[in-house]
Amino acid sequence: MEEASHYVKRVVLPSGKTIEVVLFRENAPAIESRPASPQVEPPQDLHVCLECSSELVYPAAWDEESDDTWRVTLRCPDCETLREGLFSQETVDAFDEELDAGSDSLMADLRRLTRANMAEEIGRFAEALQADAILPEDF
């Protein structure tokens, strides 16, 4: 039996939202190993890849380590870099806000494209009606 080339992982964000992340097994790099004594990383923009500077980095997993720190596994879809780190609540909150802004932007684009597609379909339908090209049998 052939192994699946991808799998879907559900990640619950600190805000309570749940996202689905599709991970591909082929050519997936190994996650960097955890240091012996974990240190909280300095504040940084978690949505920016340290390797290729892509601004599309997303969480593959995150777990609360303590009341004010989170262990987050980050994945860059452009260069396939995976990294794990321990981050402060403030850094994770800023990341969560960036993810929310990205979701809002995607939804706005989806609504715009849906309206454009519907307007085009309505225009074609109106032209067909005007040309008497639609018959009762078409329904």
Residue 1 lies in a domain: no
* Cβ count near 72 (within 10 Å): 23
Residue 55 lies in a domain: yes
* Cβ count near 139 (within 10 Å): 5
β-sheet bridge partners, residue 9: 21
Residue 139 lies in a domain: no
Residue 138 lies in a domain: no
Has residue 11 got a pLDDT over 90?
no
Please report the pLDDT score of residue 32 as a whole number: 52
Q: 19 vs 63, which has greater pLDDT?
A: 63
**Please, where are the H alpha helices in 20-139?**
89-130
This prediction's pTM: 0.61
β-sheet bridge partners, residue 86: 40, 71
CA 41 to chain CA centroid, nearest Å: 23
Amino acid sitting at position 43: P
Report how many domains make up the chain. Answer: 1
Domain containing 39 equals 6-131
Residue 13 lies in a domain: yes
Q: What is the mean pLDDT of residues 68-79?
A: 94
Q: What is the mean pLDDT of residues 46-61?
A: 94
Residue 100 lies in a domain: yes
